[in-house]
Amino acid sequence: MRFTRLRLNGFKSFVDPTDLIIHEGLTGVVGPNGCGKSNLLEALRWVMGENRPTAMRGGGMEDVIFAGTATRSARNFAEVALVIDNEERLAPAGFNEADTVEIVRRITRDAGSAYKANTKEVRARDIQMLFADASTGAHSPALVRQGQIAELINAKPKSRRRILEEAAGISGLYQRRHEAELR
């Protein structure tokens, strides 16, 4: 699953529409403190279904919406789009009709957030499963937050196991089993 594009609009400090092309190979993001590097990673995690405000360094989910500055007023919505290359048709059923899969998540003040996959409305759970099966996603250890290395070193065996399950690509199955047990 290769990400080829990330578009942001009104997400945290990215008030103006921003379109990032992600080329093959290693991508580096550099810039001065506070320029939005961590916000970019949070946008990626958010569009993949992150629902914990704390993981987004906020108190509530609406905190991802541009909050305004001295010179610019706050926005009423935030939108992030992630384009995935699907030429090899590796996406799971339901996402697999086209050469690219575009996932869009949008949050509107007082109206919550909604997801689309190639313009069709989908549930948060569908998006989370799509990425869980691909061993990536909002909780993937492939996305390492600032300060997380130290947390990893001090991790308890249970959280280490979760990391190994992600790496083995079985966390999607695990989630489904858990849901089946709840039914």
Tell me the sheet residues that pair with 7. 19, 81
3-state helix, strand, coil split of the chain in percent (to 5) is 30, 25, 45
51 is in an annotated binding site: no
Site membership for ligand ATP, residue 165 (CB under 6 A): no
Q: Which two tokens stand for residue 60?
A: 């509530």
Site membership for Mg ion, residue 76 (CB under 5 A): no
Residue from 5, 37, 116, 162 binding ligand ATP (CB under 6 A): 37
37 is in an annotated binding site: yes
Rounded CA-CA distance 141/40 in Å is 16
Decide: 11 and 74 in contact? Cβ < 8 Å.
no
32 is in an annotated binding site: yes
Which residue lies nearer to ligand ATP by CB, 31 or 157? 31
Site membership for ligand ATP, residue 33 (CB under 6 A): yes
Which residue lies nearer to Mg ion by CB, 25 or 147? 147
Site membership for ligand ATP, residue 36 (CB under 6 A): yes
CB of 31 to Mg ion, least distance (A): 9
Which positions from 35 through 74 interact with Mg ion, judged by CB under 5 A?
37-38
Q: Which two tokens stand for residue 141?
A: 């250890």
CB of 92 to Mg ion, least distance (A): 32
Of the candidates 135, 24, 139, which has an alpha carbon nearest to the alpha carbon of residue 85?
A: 24
Which positions from 134 through 153 interact with ligand ATP, judged by CB under 6 A?
146
Question: Around 37, how many Cα atoms within 13 Å sit in the side-chain half-sphere?
Answer: 12
Q: Where along the sequence are the contacts to Mg ion (CB under 5 A)?
A: 37-38
